[in-house]
Chains A and B, each alone.
Chain A
């Protein structure tokens, strides 16, 4: 979970702090700084949540506290 929050922090804040510098890089046609705020960070968040939901369930099963239908 802490790992998830770290990844979240990087893509939510750190990346955008340097948006101006990143814009010098061309990413498939986009300036990278702009791309990160328009799509990059968002994609990271979505993937992260699906992973998180699976991992938490795996942890629940491991410690025998998962919900039974």
Chain B
């Protein structure tokens, strides 16, 4: 098939191509639904869903492979804003957003809504402070910007280190998510699932660089949003909240608030099961007191500023044709992300209500334990240790504090709880896979690109030829991917926790030098260096100190409620202070650099770094 992946003709036919693709996916979904009626087993439906989508992504990846520099690093800077928005949305919404977030809201209630607010509001910062200016700059990677704006190899190197630390933390979380889903769908051990997930990820990003990743990410977005929305609409209709759940689920929230005191949510569990939790937090009522409010806003702050400093997201805005497109592309990204995020609380609400409302046939709280134990989904999930029931008061009736589960399974298990056909579960598994894979693709690419472009080409061997650079980038992808899978199979921390750490690392090291690089002409090299090193160093120290209160450098107790998922607040403050102080103590940057900063703020004209064909 001789397809050109560039040029006007191709861009104009994009909507048609993806419309056909969406139709094809829905047809596949329908086929599976029919086959299920004819008795295709649940196991095979799961396998077919995951395999089918993997093959499609790999197919797109292979077709759009490339060896041209601009196409490999920034997709030829020709991606239209709406499609770039979709690709960014897929890049952005990871296993954490898809699999873990609704579960977090389900289990921990209002405090976890901070993730939803933070992960959308961050885009305001990107649009106003960063994306258009970085696009004008014309760089390939984020350290490329830092290195050129401030000058010096050491600055570039420091930026590389921050990028690798943040992205690597993030990528292990994604590989964990793909591993979990693959393990469930194929019924294989988690450790093998991890490597299988990695294989799928590498096929897309290895061959075609940014261009292949862009077009697979658009495809993955379509799958993941369909997979997320269908169960919500289904539950809303079957629970009697109408065809427009987003406008009407308010009464479902109220119903939960009425039921909570009746069934005794908030009573601590008597038993405890390792790794699982009983539901003890109220659904919509925030905890009392200023500390809780403070924790909410600091988490929002971390997630927002982290969003605006994550290199794999910023990198996506280097691919638009113009500065204006970069701006509208940010708006489209947020729109596509919003579609999923404003659905997540609805999912958590319906999922909880169907479990606790005695008027619904699916409810389990308050029924006899024997009856609950005979349900198929309860058995399946308890078999793999993600759910447990203990009859603490031995009355034979299931109370809310006798039901233990792992929050990460809510999204995956909801269709089964609601008694939907298994084909929906297969769809959700494929969606979760798409979400985790698309983010992992973007992250791996960000790391490999920066190592091959900034470390190898700009620092180690400036004379390296194009072919060699791209080859290095591919080999590095393999090595980093394998490293990530190896770390993921150790299961150090949960999905949501690892993701929050990645955000905090990125904001501690990169946010201040990036923003001041665009907005403060006086900012200079020693200042930027201090900002990155002190920021990352302080953040890291604080994380270790909070996690190990007994070690010699440990703090007895976190400062004003800033625990390990909020350490970015400390890091970014240290980074800003040190950068400003050091900059003011050292001479201003040269005339040339100052003129460059002026240029960045003007959209028209050439990019700062001349583009090479």
Contacts and interface: CB of A to CB of B under 8 A. Distances in A.
Interface of A: 1, 4-5, 8, 11-13, 16-20, 23, 27-31, 33-35, 37-39, 41-43, 45-46, 48-50, 52-53, 56-57, 60, 65-68
B238 interface: no
A49 B286 CA distance: 29
A22 to B, nearest CB: 9
Most chain-B Cβ atoms within 10 A of its Cβ — which of A5, A11, A49, A50? Answer: A49
26 contacts: A4-B128, A5-B128, A8-B125, A17-B296, A20-B293, A23-B284, A27-B250, A28-B250, A29-B251, A30-B253, A33-B286, A34-B113, A37-B113, A37-B116, A37-B117, A38-B116, A38-B345, A42-B338, A46-B331, A46-B338, A52-B127, A53-B127, A57-B327, A60-B604, A65-B604, A67-B322
Interface in B325-364: 327-328, 330-331, 334-335, 338, 341-342, 345-346
A53 B322 contact: no
B331 A37 contact: no
Contacts of B324: 53, 56-57, 60, 66-67
B117 A1 contact: no
A28 B248 CA distance: 8
B297 A13 contact: yes
B121 interface: yes
Given A5-B128, A16-B297, A42-B341, A49 B331 contact: yes
Task: Say whether chain B's binding surface is mostly helix, strand, loop, or mixed.
Answer: helix
A12 B322 contact: no
A28 B50 CA distance: 40
Contacts of A33: 110, 284, 286
Contact of A19 (B120, B293, B301, B323): B293
B11 interface: no
B332 to A, nearest CB: 9
A30 B255 CA distance: 10
B124 interface: yes
Q: 10 tightest CB-CB pairs across the interface, nearest first?
A: A29-B250, A30-B250, A37-B113, A49-B331, A34-B284, A38-B345, A53-B327, A12-B121, A29-B251, A8-B124
A17 B297 contact: yes
B117 A16 contact: yes
B89 to A, nearest CB: 12
B604 A67 contact: yes
A23 B285 contact: yes
B602 interface: yes
B582 interface: no
A55 B223 CA distance: 33
Contacts of A46: 120, 331, 334-335, 338
B603 interface: yes
Given A12-B121, A34-B345, A35-B250, 14 more contacts: A4-B124, A13-B301, A16-B296, A16-B300, A17-B293, A30-B253, A31-B257, A42-B338, A45-B123, A46-B120, A49-B123, A52-B127, A60-B324, A67-B324
Contacts of B127: 49, 52-53
A38 B113 contact: yes
A37 B535 CA distance: 30
A49 to B, nearest CB: 4
Nearest to A63: B602
A56 B327 contact: yes
A65 B603 CA distance: 6
B561 to A, nearest CB: 14
Most chain-B Cβ atoms within 10 A of its Cβ — which of A8, A43, A53, A65? Answer: A53
B254 interface: yes
B132 interface: yes
B117 A12 contact: yes
Given A53-B330, A56-B132, A60-B324, A42 B250 contact: no
Interface in B276-294: 284-286, 288, 293
Nearest to A15: B117
B235 to A, nearest CB: 16
Contact of A29 (B124, B248, B286, B335): B248
A20 B285 contact: yes
Contacts of B327: 52-53, 56-57
Contact of B254 (A29, A42, A50, A53): A29
Contact of A34 (B110, B124, B322): B110
Contact of A48 (B124, B284, B603): B124
B286 A19 contact: yes
Most chain-B Cβ atoms within 10 A of its Cβ — which of A1, A18, A38? Answer: A38
Most chain-B Cβ atoms within 10 A of its Cβ — which of A8, A33, A39? Answer: A39
Contacts of B522: none
A12 to B, nearest CB: 5
A33 B293 CA distance: 12
Interface string B291-312: 0010011001100100000000
A66 B338 contact: no
Nearest to B344: A38
B535 to A, nearest CB: 22
Nearest to B109: A34
Interface string B103-143: 00000001001101110110111011000100000000000
A32 B250 CA distance: 10
B114 A34 contact: no
A64 B325 CA distance: 17
